[in-house]
Structure 1
Amino acid sequence: MKAIYSALKRLFSATFRLPVSASALLFRPARTNQSRRDLLQGRLWRLLPRDRFPPLVTRLPKPQTEESPAEAPRSIGGINIDPVPATDLGKKSVARSLPVHRPPGAIDEFQFLIGCTRCGDCITACPYDAIFKAPDRLGNIASTPIIQADTSACMMCEDFPCIASCKPGVLVESIPPVMGTARVTEHLCFAHHNTTCTVCGEHCPVEGAITVADGKPTINEDTCTGCGVCRYVCPAPENAILLMPAFARPGRPHV
């Protein structure tokens, strides 16, 4: 170790031209806790006398308080590097929801959820009890009017009492009463398995929505209103009618 210290002393003195007093100060005999491993691992700072060269960086103890304040955001050069939460612009928003079957004349879903007061007048006005309140499990659309064709389908009344009873104006006559569309699932349909069945075509309340050719029903999607009668009357064990709600509806008409 003494040979190594002597070599380092000569190297530093020749390179930096240190005065003899400074050179002697830096390379005075090492403390007993210094080792060759410290030197080989680059821990030259341990060779300095700590009583004359105090550490440049000191870790201050963290103040102890009853309620620790929130930690300051991390930064590099004054630039915050912590995630920044989204800015709240104060805009009223409505959570997105899965498409559901609305009664005839329903306006755009976003406007519908804002304007509907959940009064239930359309439910009371329906003569066929085809309109129900959405259950609580559906979240933000809970208590709004929906149609469940498996329980009771919309019969497409001529005067649409549900629309007439809607005071908030989320059901309007000026919007076509298209609630969705239906399709025949051929591998579940009796008529596609050599069994005579035209029940859906016989009960459909919309003229031209279902046609039967060669004993097999076909749904015209351009005419279908998605009332759900075909699904309600289908006798197939697994129900051969796939009923889909309208994914987009017109907005509230300007008066």
Structure 2
Amino acid sequence: MIDGTGPVGGERRRLFRSAIDRWLGHVVERTEKRIARRQYFRPPGALPEVGFLAACTRCGACADVCPSSAIMHVRAEGGLAAGTPYIDPGVQPCTVCPDMPCASVCPTDALTVPPALWEGYRIGRLELVAERCITFKGTPCGVCAEACPVGPAALAIDEGGHPVIRSEGCVGCGLCVRACVTSPSSFVLTYAEG
């Protein structure tokens, strides 16, 4: 009888452990690829996606307290993300509440209120498509800057009357995307990294 303590047992254990580690590595890799298929703009204070999906209980408390009704839930077809909260800036952008009630109410810390609230936090990353913006065609506007809840620290109008995104201050809420008078919008919101 082999008790697992000798050289054969130790080698067997090492080989078994190596096989398990390889298998788990493949499972994690496949899971990350499935998650990456569809990205969602998560509510403020969200953990990175893999951790968020593991921590979120899909309770809906964040959506219940959102004063602007910006938080929706991924449908059943969303696979691993089904039932989790997300924001669709094209439907209803986040209004950048000063106290982040959505994160405050989360029972599992899938959403957490950062120590400095919005400072350094990003829902998305904003880009300007100058070819679409009417200010670059000589028409004064400024609707985007008026819609920005952060103000000139995030989106300002320069001396030429053109919008200027200040990425260090912009939280990527999407309010300017929705407010923009051009169709399609002169602003594009992409997924924040990290």
The residue correspondences of 1:92-103 to structure 2 (distance < 5 A) are 93=28, 94-96=31-33, 97-98=35-36, 99-103=39-43
Q: How far off its partner does 1:135 sit?
A: 2.6
Aligned partner of 2:123 in structure 1 is 179
Q: Does 1:209 align with 2:149?
A: no
Aligned residues: 163
For residue 191 of structure 1, report the CA deviation from its aligned partner: 1.2
State the alpha-carbon separation in 2 of the partners of residues 212 and 128 from structure 1: 26
Is 1:129–2:69 an aligned residue pair? yes
- For 2:6, the equivalent position in structure 1 comes to none
Show the counterpart of 1:77. Answer: none
CA RMSD of aligned residues (A): 1.9
**2:14 match:** none
Which one has more relative contact order, counting CA pairs under 8 Å at least 6 apart?
2
The 5-angstrom pairing of residues 46-57 of structure 1 reads none
TM-score by length of 2: 0.77
Give distance in 1, aligned partners of 2:180 and 2:109: 34
Q: Give the distance between the partners of 2:122 and 2:135, measured in 1 at CA.
A: 27
Residue matched to 1:229: 175
Instruction: Give 1:127 deviation, angstroms.
Output: 0.5
For the Cα contact (< 8 Å) 1:95–1:140, is it kept in 2? no
- Checking the alignment, whether the CA contact within 8 Å between 1:180 and 1:225 is kept in structure 2 is yes
Amino acid at match of 2:102: C
- Are the counterparts in 2 of residues 133 and 146 from structure 1 also a CA contact under 8 Å? yes
Instruction: Give the counterpart of 1:190 among 125, 134, 145.
Output: 134
Instruction: Tell me the distance in 2 between the aligned counterparts of 1:136 and 1:246.
Output: 24
SS in 2 for 1:187: coil
Alignment partners' CA distance in 2, 1:188 and 1:135: 33
Greater share of helix residues, 1 or 2?
A: 2
Matches within 5 A, 1:23-172: 87=19, 89=21, 91=24, 93=28, 94-96=31-33, 97-98=35-36, 99-172=39-112
How big is each residue's C-alpha offset from its partner over 1:145-165, in whole Å with a ceiling of 9 and x where there is no partner?
111111111111111110111
Residue 136 (structure 1) shift: 3.1
* Gaps in structure 1 of 5+ consecutive residues: 1-86, 249-255
* Runs of 5+ consecutive residues of structure 2 not aligned to the other structure: 1-18
- Offset of 1:181 from its aligned partner? 1.4
SS at match of 1:150: coil
The share of aligned pairs that are identical, in percent, is: 32
1:239 lines up with 2:185 in the alignment: yes
CA distance in 1, matches of 2:46, 2:137: 38
Measured in 1, the distance between the counterparts of 2:193 and 2:77 equals: 20
Give the letter for the 1:239 counterpart.
Answer: S
Letter in 1 for 2:131: H
Change (3 A) 1:235 1:136: farther
Q: More displaced, 188-197 or 171-180?
A: 171-180
Q: Higher Cα Rg: structure 1 or 2? A: 1
* TM score, norm. by length of structure 1: 0.60
SS in 2 for 1:226: coil
